[in-house]
Amino acid sequence: MKAIRGATTVSCDTPEQIKEAVKELLNGIVKANNLEHGQIICIMFSNTGDLKSFYPAKAAREAGFASCALYSSLEPEIDGALEKCIRVMMLVDGDFVPEHVYLNEAKNLRKDITSVLNVAVDGPAGSGKSTVCKKVAESLGILYLDTGAMYRALALKCVRENGDYADKDAVKHITNKLNLKVEYKDGKQITLLDGEDVSDQIRTPQVSLLASYVSAYSFVRTKMVALQREIAQKTSCILDGRDIGTNVLPKCKFKFYLTASPEVRAKRRYEEDKLKGSKQTLEEVLKEINERDFQDKNRAVAPLKQASDAVVIDTSEMSIDAVVNEIIGKIHEKI
């Protein structure tokens, strides 16, 4: 059994506001924890004494949480306490890490879990983004969201369905029915395509190039960007890609743009892929990097470019740790 906490506030003590706030809070807990109603054993509410117009437990019943035990109680009056506040404790069957939900003014009660930190990292292929982002994420205790993996998953789907990337309608059809999920296991991103873990299959040179092509379609970007924003909005994470600072999170406080010469980037990719058994020559990798650079920088929608407020780091002559330290240092300067 798990206990999930939550709280919210209303601006006026009216039955309508209390009903709406309770519904939003409970549905938020259900969604955040992926719950079935049958798992919920009981829901206990407390509210501050300035709420007199409606019982939160009654609101829960009206919101469809009628099959579990419900209970409301009054909180003691505490000087300086948050006003018009409804707190909840939900006991739930299951074994998972509970996600507590704090809404409206109640977010201030748990700043540790409600303030989301996002870091945007953009740059061309081979600039060191993924290696650096993994390390920064680990050091800051936040997730690493590899947005390229999402475009790669779509590219893989196109390969599997023999979709011609130049046939816009075929790619649109595949995009519309794309069943893509990003999950985390032991802090590592798992990319699920139609429920299958394709984290390794999306790393082939064929998929790399195809991802660059399909990512140029505006309907593809609309879908992926929405998913990325949804994750970033509720999760502290460092995201890497091509348009994170310019398009996905333009208001992000922490933006970095990593770059390196094409030769250095090709060499890195070549060494990395060789370890994985790739037979590509350095020249082939360089050609592919140049092709992808051209494609990523020259597409009409959200091309790769540095945001005007991004910190630019040329990683050509830097070690991974030096880049990681520079990023963490800049973040700490601003926090």
Rg of the chain on CA atoms, in Å: 24
The answer to the question of residue 128 lying near ligand DC (CB under 6 A) is no
Site mask for ligand DC (CB under 6 A), range 296-335, x = bound: x---------------------------------------
Per CB under 6 A, the segment of 73-81, 134-142, 147-155, 261-269 that binds ligand DC is: 147-155
Which residue from 292, 310, 324, 331 is in contact with ligand DC, where contact means CB under 6 A? 292
The answer to the question of residue 259 lying near ligand DC (CB under 6 A) is no
The answer to the question of residue 104 lying near ligand DC (CB under 6 A) is no
Relative to beta strand 40-47, strand 196-197 is: unpaired
Q: Which amino acid is at 219?
A: F
Give the CA distances from residue 219 to residues 215, 222, 245, in Å, rounded to whole numbers and listed in that order: 9, 5, 20
The answer to the question of residue 269 lying near ligand DC (CB under 6 A) is no
27-56: contacts with ligand DC (CB under 6 A): none
DSSP annotation of 245: I
Closest CB to ligand DC among 101 and 232? 232
Q: Report the nearest approach of ligand DC to the CB of residue 80 (Å).
A: 45
Beta bridge partners of 45: 72, 88
Q: Report the nearest approach of ligand DC to the CB of residue 151 (Å).
A: 4
- 280, 281, 283, 284 alpha-carbon torsion, rounded to 10°: -10
Measured CA to CA, the distance from residue 216 to residue 294 in angstroms comes to: 12
Q: Report the nearest approach of ligand DC to the CB of residue 138 (Å).
A: 19
Closest CB to ligand DC among 52 and 297? 297
> Six-digit token pair at 328?
């963490």
210-239: contacts with ligand DC (CB under 6 A): 211-212, 215
The answer to the question of residue 147 lying near ligand DC (CB under 6 A) is yes
Alpha helices for the chain (secondary structure H): 15-32, 56-62, 111-114, 129-140, 148-160, 168-176, 205-214, 218-234, 262-275, 282-298, 320-334
Q: What are phi and psi of 221, to 5 degrees?
A: -65, -40
Q: Report the nearest approach of ligand DC to the CB of residue 231 (Å).
A: 13
Residues within the interface to ligand DC (CB under 6 A) = 125, 147-148, 151-152, 208, 211-212, 215, 241-244, 292, 296
